[in-house]
Amino acid sequence: MDNGISAATITDIEEALSQVSEIKAARIVASEDGLIQEIHVLALPNKTPKQLVRDIESTIMASFGIAIDHKKISIAQLGQEALPQEEAKQTARARIKSINAEVSGVQVVITVILELEDDVYIGKVLGPNSQTGRKRLVAQATLNALEQYLHGAMSFALEDVDIVDLGSESVAVACVTLVTSLGEQAFAGSALVRQNEKDAIVRATLDAINRRMGFLTTS
């Protein structure tokens, strides 16, 4: 549990966090009795949100002896254009481990497993076993896995997903809204259907997130 802190200490913590090379600005929200409720950080994108959360926790613990619940940390990252060209190339890689569908009557459970930075994240969602419903469930399970990786620093809203025909190719397209403490913004992604539609939908969903966060998928 967080220790009570003074207004002066809040300023000290904000200044300490601003000394972390990737952090451009930091703001702490505390309760009347001095308990840290929220930590908002604006950062460069050359580290993943997961790494930044760990750096923030370590900095506050090492400098002030205060343990912080990672759920209280909200990170908004600047776009890749904010980085020098050589640093902008360093991005997280999301590997699709598996996509499973378990049908039970008129319901289906979709499970998407992603590997990020040597850790595995499982997104699972239950919904109607309709053609349109399965597409949305695959995309939503993908977003659920990503939200676990981000420790709640960002949230995603699935606007729509579909398979469309373009010329002789079938293409999965996804529109996702990214929600942070600074507001929301919509992104679209696409992926050619190569293995199957579920695989293409996961890749299209990741491609939409890539527009903001720099994820790259591998086979």
Q: What is the pLDDT of residues 72-87, one digit of tens each?
A: 888 887 654 444 444 4
Cβ distance 159 to 130 under 8 Å? no
In the chain, the domains with their CATH numbers are 7-88 (3.30.300.30), 93-218 (3.30.160.270)
Radius of gyration, alpha carbons of the chain: 19
Q: How confident is the model at residue 34 (pLDDT cuts 50, 70, 90)?
A: confident
- Is this prediction's pTM over 0.75? no
Task: Give the residue among 198, 157, 152 at the shortest CA–CA distance from 176.
Answer: 157
Q: Are 212 and 91 in contact (CB under 8 A)?
A: no
Q: Rounded distance, CA 109 to CA 105, Å? A: 11
- Token pair, residue 70, equals 């990672």
Q: Check if the beta carbon of residue 70 is closer than 8 Å to that of residue 26.
A: no
Q: Is 144 helix (H, G, I), strand (E, B) or coil?
A: helix
